[in-house]
Structure 1
């Protein structure tokens, strides 16, 4: 009898083993999450002591070093929208050629953006003492109404982008921890609001540095694990080459080809996600804050390498989605579920926890930049002119903090809608903002003949194309965004050529900030110890 009694006990111990292991892994994942939250909030509370005025809260005192600025730029660029939404959907659509999107993000969205815009943005915005894009437009083009209109556009159209980040984050988070995605979304919103409202730009930037390191490690681990599950890169490529191209039966092996089954569609995504950064307020804002000339050069290299690893790795990983996910019976695919399915099927529970922290890091950094960009512009450029006599420095900081909370709340409400697709939300936001501001911002920095009328034409073009496509649907959201950006670069100079020019003395004085005349004109160099 004793021997018979021992067997059930052994069986119970065997059953308890895997269960105990699961509990142990969950404890580790929760501990990692708590540590991440504690560091994030701690940085916010620490930076609160250094946000005495609006300049500190919005710009970090224009004294941010190259590593912090470069990581802030990169982590604001890439979030759960890229890693989950875009990598899944466009990896499915274009196969391995989707990697070109990541390369475009690195070379055009990071390298060229820093080279072309970094120095000029820092110098000219300092010349006009502008802390926001709306204020820069108003002063550069001597048109105060631009400040109000641009600030409203930014606040409205950054909300869908923020919502897309929450949506991409919550699905992966709920998969890893078994918690309803709505609670995940609300929890992330509260955390973002706490540290941004407490420490402002500097808190966001320092957290970006920490979160960026996590992203680099996590992306490398995910890519290697995914390829390993398919027997290596060569086996994975062979598998992709054997997938049937139902759209064009004559072009088989399309998903393993150099430019994929739809080169034109691929190009539109590259333009939207790469060139678009040149006109996004939350991205160019990073150049306002950088410390000096040396920091710009160093930041260019760091930002480009970061983008190559994170963006290139994300799209390369997503490009193998067809090896792991099968369409439903009606041929449809839940694009937002592709990357979570790949991760869940290939990674250990512990590594899934690491990936969740990766996506959390990417998303929190992007959200913080969106929150600060929208709330600061709306306060300084819309509310302040209306209540000029009642808004001193402390009132402005308090209002910005309150709007941070409101912005987060609205974003979560939109993200909770069941039918909101990540890529659609982001494409609407990114396409409209870049379509509105790309031409006006670039020509404002480089071309003396740009006029206020040209800027208004650019704004109308950006909103008109993207919003009308939202209701009429004459093309995809990504193509509409790319089209509006290209037209912005054409319409702004064309309208400027046939409309009244700005006063010549004002324009010459504005562009003189790039040169310091001593014995002869030479390029102005930002002092190494310049703090303002």
Structure 2
């Protein structure tokens, strides 16, 4: 136990040391929010990957989805690598870096305001980010705390408090430069940890190797080794699209493109980030799919079956103690990176877009930086409160917040990058449609209104929040161009400001 604590203490000292080092290099709001747009390919790639995957993946998604879908859960890993990472970099990376630099914007709400000439959209977007990133952050806290409880026998509450303090210090001290540098270090830990986790779980007597594990799962339920798993195609496709396509509209992911040094960085970062994604998600979902070999029924927490305890218990049973501590550091690494991205984006959006952008335009840079740091503390405090009073399981929290934010932003942002015919009304219609579908779906699942037949309710509940989160992203992709086609287009002067007069002239010619 002493050696476990020494490893964790050394890890914490490393993180805080790097944060203090970057603190001396963070002097402006550009430094704090986007690293002064000076981040190279490896740090950009690892920062994208470590922000993408957190304790929600390792503890929540991998366990619950693996238990329900079996080996078909690996489709999600493939989707995350190809759609959520490779295509995100190919389609969004270069264009985001180009337009954000030309418009001199630091946040997604600022981009939406500049692209659609709508200050109200900037305010609305910043409020969405702040409100719905709190449950997302809380889900990360919850997942990590379950693992602390299993490996160190630390009460859930104390683990939450420790994580809150560490995250607050880590981010407030260093800003985006600390995030990028530390994410690179954390990414290395994550890769080593996931490879060792797969090795020891597959080699455990309960699994007995890849082939025997496959045969044992098939004996329990042939559906666990089928291409689509027991819940069927709708469920697995919803999860693939929710967790993959969602990165295209999540502000903390898009922000990684804002900080890229130049266009030459993107090709190498794309390949590195895709490989990283495939290794991390492939390992996590594969281990989760083997959970039936370790448990006959779901573990119980607080008197109720909890899929969130599957992965912590597998790690505790199958891995040597020191390797289990490394897995703890893996999850801690992923969670710290995700949390720092969420906190930085939400706090900077409120400070820059809401307070300075709408309430007090004369706020100077020094006070704006102070406000961002204060809001970082407020944000992690609210996330802690929600994690201590959780309304549901990790998967539900994450799916609700991820689906709502991505549903609101994906279509307006994507069309805003490429669609010169996209109008302000079209963007508003897309944002509102995404919000309505995601929140309405959660309401239907949670409350089961009497006017909907029980059969439909059971089907929707089986598909779960991921189905509505996916629908919230897809439907606005049709709504935005339709409404834009019906409403007046922007003037050539505005489009020239956004896309560059040279690009417009070339297309007109």
Return the match for 2:208 from 228, 231, 239.
Answer: 231
CA shift, 1:419, in A, is: 4.8
Paired residues of 1:240 and 1:255 also in contact (CA < 8 A): yes
Aligned to 1:23: none
Indicate yes or no: 2:408 matched with 1:436. Answer: yes
1:232-247 residue pairs with structure 2 within 5 A? 232-244=209-221
Indicate yes or no: 2:99 matched with 1:124. Answer: yes
1:61-100 residue pairs with structure 2 within 5 A? 61-100=36-75
Paired residues of 1:123 and 1:514 also in contact (CA < 8 A): no
Indicate yes or no: 2:472 matched with 1:484. Answer: yes
CA shift, 1:501, in A, is: 1.3
Counterpart CA distance in 2 for 1:438 and 1:516 is 24
Paired residues of 2:146 and 2:156 also in contact (CA < 8 A): yes
Counterpart CA distance in 1 for 2:361 and 2:468 is 42
1:21-60 residue pairs with structure 2 within 5 A? 26-60=1-35
- The change in CA–CA distance for 1:143 and 1:329 in structure 2 (over 3 A counts) is closer
Counterpart CA distance in 2 for 1:391 and 1:472 is 43
Aligned to 1:504: 492
Aligned to 2:284: 314
Aligned to 2:335: 363
Return the match for 2:482 from 473, 494, 498.
Answer: 494
Structure 1: state its 5+ residue gaps. 1-25, 245-252, 522-532
Structure 2: state its 5+ residue gaps. 446-456
Indicate yes or no: 2:261 matched with 1:254. Answer: no
Q: For each residue in 1:144-163, what CA deviation from the matched residue of structure 2 results, as whole angstroms up to 9, or x when unmatched?
A: 11110000001101111100
Counterpart CA distance in 1 for 2:348 and 2:469 is 25
Counterpart CA distance in 1 for 2:346 and 2:162 is 21
CA shift, 1:312, in A, is: 1.2
Indicate yes or no: 2:295 matched with 1:325. Answer: yes
Counterpart CA distance in 2 for 1:186 and 1:65 is 34
**SS across alignment from 1:501:** coil
- The change in CA–CA distance for 1:513 and 1:298 in structure 2 (over 3 A counts) is farther
- The change in CA–CA distance for 1:307 and 1:513 in structure 2 (over 3 A counts) is farther
Aligned to 2:137: 162
- The change in CA–CA distance for 1:514 and 1:54 in structure 2 (over 3 A counts) is farther
Paired residues of 2:86 and 2:273 also in contact (CA < 8 A): yes
Return the match for 1:221 from 196, 203, 211.
Answer: 196
- The change in CA–CA distance for 1:138 and 1:288 in structure 2 (over 3 A counts) is same
CA shift, 1:329, in A, is: 11
Counterpart CA distance in 2 for 1:174 and 1:68 is 31
CA shift, 1:472, in A, is: 2.4
1:180-195 residue pairs with structure 2 within 5 A? 180-195=155-170
- The change in CA–CA distance for 1:513 and 1:288 in structure 2 (over 3 A counts) is farther
Paired residues of 1:124 and 1:513 also in contact (CA < 8 A): no
Aligned to 1:427: 399
Paired residues of 2:136 and 2:398 also in contact (CA < 8 A): yes
Paired residues of 1:120 and 1:514 also in contact (CA < 8 A): no
Counterpart CA distance in 2 for 1:325 and 1:424 is 22
Aligned to 1:290: 260
Return the match for 1:451 from 402, 423, 435.
Answer: 423
1:457-468 residue pairs with structure 2 within 5 A? 457-468=429-440
Counterpart CA distance in 2 for 1:381 and 1:173 is 36
CA shift, 1:510, in A, is: 2.3
Higher Cα radius of gyration: 1
Aligned residues: 486
Counterpart CA distance in 2 for 1:440 and 1:153 is 14
